[in-house]
Structure 1
Amino acid sequence: MTVTLVTGANKGIGYETVRLLVAAGHTVYAAARDEERGRRAAAELGARFVRLDVTDDASVVAAMKTVEAEQGRLDVLINNAGLGLESPTGPEALLVFDTNVVGVIRVTQAALPLLRKSDHPVVVNLSSALGSFHAVTDPQRPAFHVPSLVYGSSKAAVSMLTLQYAKTVPDITFNAVEPGYTDTDLTKDHPGGRSAEVSAQVVARVAMMGKDGPTGTFQEEDGILPW
Structure 2
Amino acid sequence: MTITFITGANKGLGRETARRLIEHGHTVLIGARNREQGEEAGVTLGARYVPIDVTDQASVAAAAANVAAHEGRVDVLINNAGVSGPLGDPSGLTAADALAVLDVNVIGVVRTITAFLPLLCRSEDPVIVNVSSGMGSLAFTHDPDRPESRVVAPLYTASKAALTMLTTQYAKGLKDIRINAADPGYTATDFNAHSGFQTVTEGTDAIVTLATEEPGAGTGRFLSRHGEIAWS
* TM-score, normalization by structure 2: 0.94
CA distance in structure 2 between the partners assigned to 1:51 and 1:75 by the alignment: 19
Tell me by how many angstroms 1:67 deviates: 0.9
CA deviation string 1:44-88 (max 9, x = no partner): 000110000000111111111111111111100000000011252
- Counterpart in 1 of 2:177? 172
Residue type of the alignment partner of 2:35: E
- Counterpart in 1 of 2:135? 130
2:28 matches 1:23: no
Gaps of 5+ in 1: none
- Counterpart in 2 of 1:117? 122
Alignment of structure 1 residues 12-161 onto 2, 5 Å: 12-86=12-86, 88-161=93-166
Q: Do the aligned residues in 1 keep the contact of 2:202 with 2:225 (CA within 8 Å)? A: no
Alignment of structure 1 residues 196-211 onto 2, 5 Å: 196-211=200-215
2:195 matches 1:184: no
Q: Do the aligned residues in 1 keep the contact of 2:189 with 2:196 (CA within 8 Å)? A: no
1:174 alignment partner, SS class: strand
Tell me by how many angstroms 1:226 deviates: 1.7
CA distance in structure 2 between the partners assigned to 1:210 and 1:133 by the alignment: 31
1:193 alignment partner, SS class: coil
Q: Do the aligned residues in 2 keep the contact of 1:125 with 1:176 (CA within 8 Å)? A: yes
Tell me by how many angstroms 1:185 deviates: 1.7
Which stretch of the first structure deviates more once superposed, 14-23 or 207-216? Answer: 207-216
CA distance in structure 1 between the partners assigned to 2:228 and 2:161 by the alignment: 16
Q: Which among 221, 224, 228 is matched to residue 220 of structure 1?
A: 224
Which stretch of the first structure deviates more once superposed, 136-145 or 43-52? Answer: 136-145
Q: Which among 190, 198, 203 is matched to residue 194 of structure 1?
A: 198
Across the two proteins, how many residue pairs are aligned to each other? 226
CA deviation string 1:112-140 (max 9, x = no partner): 11101100000000001110122123333
Percent identity at matched positions? Answer: 48
CA deviation string 1:164-222 (max 9, x = no partner): 1001101000000001111112101x714322122112211111111121100100011
CA distance in structure 1 between the partners assigned to 2:23 and 2:116 by the alignment: 24
Two-structure CA RMSD over aligned residues (Å) = 1.2
Change (3 A) 1:192 1:162: closer
Residue type of the alignment partner of 1:121: P
Change (3 A) 1:112 1:192: closer
CA distance in structure 2 between the partners assigned to 1:124 and 1:83 by the alignment: 17
